A = this chain, B = another copy of it.
Amino acid sequence: MISFESDYNQGAHERILARLFETNMERVVSYGFDKYTESAKKKIRLACECPDADIFFLTGGTQTNAVAIDSMLDRYQSVIAAETGHINLHEAGAIEHTGHKVVTLPHHDGKLMAADVEKYLCDFYADGNREHLAQPGMVYISHPTEYGTLYTKTELSALAELCGRYNIPLYMDGARLGYGLMSRRTDVTLPDIARLCDLFYIGGTKVGALCGEALVFTKKNLPPHFMTSVKLHGALMAKGRLNGIQFDTLFTDGLYFEISKSAIDKAERLRGIFEKNGYRIFIDSPTNQQFVILENEQMERLSAHVGFSFWEKYDDNHTVVRFATSWATTDEDMDLLEKILTENV
């Protein structure tokens, strides 16, 4: 049986494991001051074309969001997100647990539009009672979004311009950033993101690492005593080398981009297979997550052969399901999927 259930159900890219092996018995300083972590930072700065970037490695997405948002906001400030944003729906209230309100605005295929944010900010600053309200202190977006969609450079620039005008940092959750960057249908590059966002993270967990996310501050805007903030969130790794070596490997010889591209190629083929076989695509996703509408009976039959994720009910007879390719998806996986679908399961 083949699986498209998620992009985090296998281990790590073999080059990462090999590097962990090679360096294993070296004695290095702890808490992220080791040479591998330093090297990883340099390579990421280079890839971002942002020589001043401050970079910290954290362990997972929710943790990274909580640390980033809590350390950037004053305690009377809120973070603005699309109602579909990961921090709103899927993080168990981790942001609120640190004391901050998540203000939600409508989404457009998972995206937050500058016009909606501008209306909110405009109304907020026009409100004579605004000192009674949590002050908007950050704009959160995910790229790719929870629906696999991508901001265009124009959309991202509009958000950046707006945030700059209101002096509010723009934060991008890049849990699946690699897949976004290597999409065939994006005009947004990593240097664009570093230039337009005030901070963002480059996801490792879902793009070939055992764990790890690289949080990048691009505007000389590292909060004071950030390391203490990381520690008080329980997020400081004693063996910082674990994250450092992984990201050093991912950013050596373009591995991060190479494996992301492989997932995109598979996703494009996957969509083609579904379309060719007459399936309806739920949302036009240009990244590694593909959302397909299945008849409920069809879904049941298919699930005997292929792993995928329930996404949401479409109507009484249909369901939206998610197929995710990953850095580890093989041509054989794709051939098998094609065979299954063609044989009219």
Contact = CB atoms under 8 A, between A and B. Distances in A.
For the complex of A and B, the 4 pairs showing the least CB-CB separation, nearest first, are A63-B234, A93-B134, A11-B24, A92-B231
B30 A10 contact: no
B211 A237 contact: yes
Nearest to A330: B25
A14 interface: yes
Interface of A is mostly: loop
Contacts of A292: none
Interface stretch (A15-23, A49-57, A259-267, A271-279): A15-23
Interface stretch (A99-107, A110-118, A185-193, A293-301): A99-107
Given A96-B99, A228-B76, A236-B62, A9 B27 contact: yes
Interface stretch (A144-152, A238-246, A337-345): A238-246
Interface residues of A, number: 80
Nearest to A230: B92
Nearest to A130: B228
Contact of A11 (B25, B67, B75): B25
The residue in A67, A99, A328 that gathers the most chain B C-beta atoms within 10 A of its C-beta is: A99
Interface of A: 3, 5-6, 8-12, 14, 17, 20-21, 23-31, 59-67, 70-71, 74-76, 78, 89-94, 96-102, 104, 128-129, 131-135, 205-206, 210-211, 224-225, 227-229, 231-239, 241-242, 307, 310, 328
Given A3-B27, A101-B93, A75 B132 contact: no
Contact of A97 (B27, B132, B233): B233
B17 A133 contact: no
Contacts of A66: 234
A205 B239 contact: yes
Contacts of A12: 20, 24
A234 B75 contact: no
Given A11-B20, A225-B131, A234-B60, A210 B242 contact: yes
Given A59-B237, A76-B228, A101-B102, 7 more contacts: A8-B238, A11-B26, A90-B129, A92-B132, A96-B101, A131-B225, A135-B225
Contacts of A232: 75-76, 91-94, 97, 134
B234 A94 contact: yes
A14 B9 contact: no
A85 B23 CA distance: 33
Contacts of A31: 132
Given A66-B234, A76-B232, A99-B99, A239 B135 contact: no
Contacts of A17: 17, 20-21, 24
Contacts of A229: 75-76
A210 to B, nearest CB: 5
Nearest to A9: B27
